[in-house]
Amino acid sequence: MCANFVFKLCIVGDGEVGKTSLRRRFLGEEFKKKHLATLGADFAVKDMQVSCPNGVTHNIKFQIWDLAGQQRFDMVRGQYYLGANGIIAVFDVTRPKTMDNLLLWFNEIKRCVNMDLIYIIVGNKIDLRRSKTRKIVTTLEGKEFVKLNAKKVTSKPVFYVETSAKTGENVEEAFEMMTLELLRERGECYDIN
């Protein structure tokens, strides 16, 4: 298959929010219960066919960079954002602090990239929401966070989606949202009204 678009996506967010699991899920790899810290950065490629509402099909090649959330890798992170088309910013709905910390990630990206990018903000681990023992970020709070901060981050669209890398819920949809928006901004994909 010959790709007519290559998009570079960077997945960011604190350690253990589920970045690697989401990427693995998107690539069709199995979910792993054991956490293995990503060292520096992982790099994966996925080919995808996307049908636009206007009937045109595009062959897309994704380069997905899964960045290490650990503080100690800060020195090497900047260069990984170079050439990125979109950011997938992940937090863990069972750890509200990881949502607040996305603001630090946004600042870092703004420092490293001198153009605005499309963002998908992902509230992950929704399968754990039933647990009543912890303070959980609700859908409303997630949406509010995005509404409040989107304009500070980028002039381009910022979407909010809630996922479970464990069950697979909404994972494909999150990446698809990003794809459609990337195509739309290139004038390649539009809705027929």
Go through 100-126 and write b for each residue having 16 or more CB atoms within 10 A of its CB, e for each that does not: ebbeebbebbeeebeeebbbbbbbbbb
Per CB under 6 A, contacts with ligand GDP among 59-78 are: 69
Q: Which of Mg ion, ligand GDP, none does residue 16 bind (CB under 5 to 8 Å by kind)?
A: ligand GDP
Task: Quote the least distance from Cβ 114 to ligand GDP, whole Å.
Answer: 26
Contact 139, 162 (CB under 8 A): yes
Residue 67: CB atoms within 10 Å: 21
Q: How many helices (H) and strands (E) does the chain have?
A: 6, 6
Binds Mg ion (CB under 5 A): choice among 7, 10, 14, 20: 20
Q: Which of ligand GDP, Mg ion, none does residue 33 bind (CB under 5 to 8 Å by kind)?
A: ligand GDP
Q: Which residue do the tokens 């589920």 mark?
A: 18
Q: What is the C-alpha to C-alpha distance for residues 61 and 45, in angstroms, rounded to an integer?
A: 7
Which residue lies nearest ligand GDP, judged by its C-beta?
A: 18
The site that binds ligand GDP (CB under 6 A) totals a number of residues, namely 20
Question: Which window, 75-83, 137-145, 159-167, 177-185, contacts ligand GDP (CB under 6 A)?
Answer: 159-167
Torsion angle, CA of 10/14/141/158, rounded to 10 degrees? -10
| Complex with ligand GDP: residue 60 or 142, whichever CB lies closer | 142
| Complex with ligand GDP: residue 73 or 159, whichever CB lies closer | 73
Per CB under 6 A, contacts with ligand GDP among 95-134 are: 124-125, 127-128
CB within 8 Å of 95: residues ≥ 6 apart: 14, 17
User: Which residues sit at the interface with Mg ion, rule CB under 5 A?
Assistant: 19-20, 38
User: Which residues sit at the interface with ligand GDP, rule CB under 6 A?
Assistant: 13, 15-21, 32-33, 35, 38, 69, 124-125, 127-128, 164-166
